[in-house]
Amino acid sequence: MEHTTYKVRVYKTEVRKNAAGKVTSYRVEWITAGKRWKKTFQRSAQADSYRSNLLTAAREGEPFSLITGEPVKWNRIERPEMSWYDFACKFADFKWKAASAKYRQDIARALTSATPAMLTSGNGKPADLDLRTAMRRWAFNTKQRDEAPGEIAEVLAWLAKHSRLVSELAEAATVRAVLDAATSRLNGKPAATSTIRRHKTILQNALDYAVELKLLDSNPIKSLKWKPPQVTYEVDRRSVVNPMQARRLLTEVEAQKPSGKRLVAFFGAMYYAALRPEEAVNLRDDNIIIPALVKNTETGQMEEPANDWGELHFASAAPFAGREWTDDGSLREERALKHRTEGVIRIVPCPPPLTKLFRIHLDEFAPSPGERLFTGIRASELPYITYRRVWNKARQNALTDKEVRSPLAKRPYDLRHACVSTWLNAGVPATQVAEWAGHSVEVLLRIYAKCIVGQDEIARQRIDQALKDDHRDS
């Protein structure tokens, strides 16, 4: 793309006056290739000097920048130039080492969404789907980029050749177009609220890095009048199952062939102990502390003890990311617990129904020492697609047609919401629930505000009593 022009026209200096008729400023106006530029000065000598320099540069055949509007040589020393594509790859590489596998994916998605606004048109443009795939899976993946197969390499070469300069983001219209692209779906409608906020944050971080590299004087996103939408963190009460529905779902999970039996305790840990899926999938036998069976002296049979409560002690989770995003090529990346620093342990009570599920699982699918409790049939990793398919099928069988069409237990994660709601509605103090669930009290009450049933009725009763007491006193 051509970023300079020799088509320049400089106008006479315009004297600007305020409402009282007093001279307040002097404005120099000129056009480069049809684009109008203006610069205002407080003194006439400053304006005349600037205008004279523009005219001299134009008469001497100096190229003018289409980005700054000024002669190229005026800015040549001030700032290096880099294409958006090269910069985006450099930013992805810069963040790679310290980022989690999931965050690496988030960065790639944000850059992939933003990049179309920084491309020029040209012959041989690949299909939009091919462009997105090449960017998301290869260009913005430090691990994969140099291994791109031939057809992908051709797409990346086109991207590199038809990318605008980072310095063009100094223009408000350009950076707004980039931000709009990053926060929209393919159909042009706004993306999910959480996606909008995440992509905006990533782009803002990227342009902070551009300032650090001296590609921009300042971060243009920070000066935009752009307000992100409010995020609704509350849990939808319609997604929360009751105990009877939860038991039906676990029964149907067990009935699924061939993986159902080995996943009952997995889903049970989410429902009875509020584990996140990435926490449940990373459980090992040393994370589970449950009472031993006791011998009945009369029958000689081993029985569950009177107090069959146990505890889960764990300090790590393993979110699914995909082999191409993890450092060791595994499907999951083991990380510290969400909102916790490395090594911090969370202790969660294990109620008798879950204790029973763990006993059954350990008897039938006992893992080797140090290995995860829940695995696939043929692999040590539990594939995301495996437990998702089992859950979808169990949900169809356990719920009515109307319930299946509703948000009820649509995701395995909704079992965790059901557990936390149960604890709160049982009257467990919010501070204790927050500790068990791995939340702050503030976040807990904001997320689960609509799932605490009966509070409005209690409030009405208290108000009614207060009004009666006041009436008697009067």
Domain annotation covers residue 230: no
Radius of gyration of the chain (CA): 31
Residue 102 confidence (pLDDT) above 90: yes
Enter the pTM of the model.
0.70
CATH of the domain at 414: 1.10.443.10
The predicted model gives 174-203 an average pLDDT of 92
The predicted model gives 73-78 an average pLDDT of 65
Same domain, 196 and 288: no
Domain annotation covers residue 463: no
Domain annotation covers residue 179: yes
pLDDT of residue 336: 75
The predicted model gives 142-149 an average pLDDT of 91
pLDDT of residue 77: 47
pLDDT of residue 1: 45
Domain annotation covers residue 456: no
287: how many CB neighbours lie within 10 A of its CB? 19
The residue written with tokens 């989410």 in the block is 270
Domain boundary (223, 253, 279) is at 223
Same domain, 274 and 412: yes
Lowest mean pLDDT among 209-218, 299-308, 351-360: 299-308
Query: Which pLDDT band, with edges at 50, 70 and 90, does 357 fall under?
Result: very high
pLDDT of residue 296: 84
Is the pLDDT higher at 93 or at 379? Answer: 93
Same domain, 136 and 281: no
| 271-307 pLDDT per residue, tens | 999 999 999 999 999 999 999 988 888 888 888 888 9
Query: Which pLDDT band, with edges at 50, 70 and 90, does 255 fall under?
Result: very high
Same domain, 63 and 90: no
- pLDDT, mean over the chain: 88
Residue 443 confidence (pLDDT) above 90: no
pLDDT of residue 254: 96
Same domain, 299 and 387: yes
Cis bond before residue 258 (omega within 30° of 0): yes
CA distance linking residue 69 with residue 53, whole number of Å: 13
Domain boundary (193, 223, 253) is at 223
Is the pLDDT higher at 161 or at 381? Answer: 161
Same domain, 63 and 171: no
Query: Which pLDDT band, with edges at 50, 70 and 90, does 95 fall under?
Result: very high
| 389-435 pLDDT per residue, tens | 999 999 999 999 999 999 999 999 999 999 998 898 888 899 999 99
Sequence-distant (6+) residues with CB within 8 A of 454 are 425
Q: For residue 363, which of 371, 372, 373 has the smallest C-alpha distance?
A: 373
Residue 231 confidence (pLDDT) above 90: no
CA distance linking residue 457 with residue 443, whole number of Å: 24
Query: Which pLDDT band, with edges at 50, 70 and 90, does 447 fall under?
Result: confident
pLDDT of residue 229: 66
The predicted model gives 42-47 an average pLDDT of 82
What the block records as the tokens of 205 is: 């971080």
Domain annotation covers residue 115: yes
Residue 41 confidence (pLDDT) above 90: no
Same domain, 276 and 405: yes
Query: Containing H/E element for 351?
Result: none
Same domain, 90 and 49: no
Lowest mean pLDDT among 88-92, 118-122, 327-331, 454-458: 454-458
Domain annotation covers residue 398: yes
463: how many CB neighbours lie within 10 A of its CB? 10
DSSP 370-384: TSBS---SSSSS--H
CA dist 59 to 28, 47, 77, Å?
Answer: 17, 18, 22
Domain annotation covers residue 231: no
The residue written with tokens 């509703």 in the block is 406
Mean pLDDT highest for which of 192-196, 247-251, 436-440, 465-469? Answer: 247-251
Same domain, 140 and 193: yes
Same domain, 401 and 306: yes
Query: Which pLDDT band, with edges at 50, 70 and 90, does 462 fall under?
Result: low
pLDDT of residue 178: 95
What the block records as the tokens of 122 is: 């040209």
- Structural domains of the chain, count: 3
Q: Is 286 helix (H, G, I), strand (E, B) or coil?
A: helix
348: how many CB neighbours lie within 10 A of its CB? 22
Same domain, 194 and 257: no
Cα dihedral 416, 419, 423, 426, rounded to 10, equals 150
Domain annotation covers residue 471: no
Same domain, 155 and 179: yes
Q: 358 lies in which domain range? A: 237-451
61: how many CB neighbours lie within 10 A of its CB? 7
Domain boundary (195, 223, 251) is at 223
CA distance linking residue 245 with residue 240, whole number of Å: 10
Lowest mean pLDDT among 112-116, 188-192, 244-248: 188-192
